[in-house]
Amino acid sequence: MDEHLETNRRHWDELVPIHFKSVYYDVAAFKAGKSNLHALEIEELGNVAGKSMLHLQCHFGIDSLSWARLGASVTGADFSHEAISTAQRLAAKTGIEARFIESELYSLPEKLDQRFDIVFTSYGVLSWLPDIHSWANVVAHFLRPGGTFYIAELHPIGGLFDTSADELRVNESYFPDGEPLRFDDDGSYADLEAKLTNRTTYSWPHPVSEVATALIDAGLRIEFIHEFPYSIERWFPFMELGGDGYFHMPAGMPSIPLLYSIRANKPVP
């Protein structure tokens, strides 16, 4: 595995038990029947009952199992050994049928020989991947003709700003220069106070245009690209939680896109 990806893998292995116990994921509520999915992806992806689904970068499987509860036949894949082991245990404890495969994303076609009705991924996944065109080829590889790809993702424009400031202050570039961004931080989106041993991570910004073009180049037909002025996370300290369950900019502050979604299909020959 590439040195940067291996560093990230160690980071995610350490995060899995932290996330599993966190209020953010609320595994106890999930075990009691609560879905971990957001209204956005449920509404835009539609009915999944009776369909096969591949969930890329599935973490410890709580979203995968939420889709399975809606009737999908789900296979989840992730490069973290701890994530996949935890996902398998969670499936067993909840009695939800799903399959989980440990694999670095770009190597997954070597480990899984199947085509799916749906390929799904969501929220904070693409910035961990150095090569979006190879990622799109993996997506296309696993879709059957007529199948659907769907992503709901944090908008890359949000990464331009200083998240600790009390105003929108740009401190990063929107367009990548080919080099990964390095961070050495404690905490995570699910537990801001967590102290970590594997603090170093690498990420790669990918503009929405790069993602869309990669999917087109891989042979998929894009049905829509949507952008949204709210987020599933409080990116900035001044954001306010709305009645819809999403975090919004306060009244009087200019809006920026904080989430986006893409739905595409693989044409039938």
Q: Which of 22-31, 124-133, 158-167 has the lowest mean pLDDT?
A: 158-167
Q: Tell me how crowded residue 112 is: count the other CB atoms within 10 A of its CB.
A: 17
Q: What is the CATH number for 224?
A: 3.40.50.150
Q: Is the pLDDT of residue 14 over 80?
A: yes
- For residues 36-45, give the mean pLDDT: 97
pLDDT band for 74, please (50, 70, 90 cuts): very high
Q: Are the CB atoms for 159 and 127 separated by under 8 Å?
A: yes
The residue among 70, 267, 206, 145 whose CA lies nearest residue 55 is 70
- For residues 1-10, give the mean pLDDT: 92
Read off the tokens for 171: 């401190």
Q: Is the pLDDT of residue 217 over 70?
A: yes
What domain range is 141 assigned to? Answer: 3-265
* pTM tops 0.85, yes or no: yes
Domain count of the fold of the chain: 1
Mean pLDDT (the chain, rounded): 94
pLDDT band for 163, please (50, 70, 90 cuts): low
Q: Is the pLDDT of residue 165 over 70?
A: no
Return the SS3 of 181. Answer: strand
The Cα–Cα gap between 255 and 231 comes to 12
Q: Are the CB atoms for 248 and 134 separated by under 8 Å?
A: no
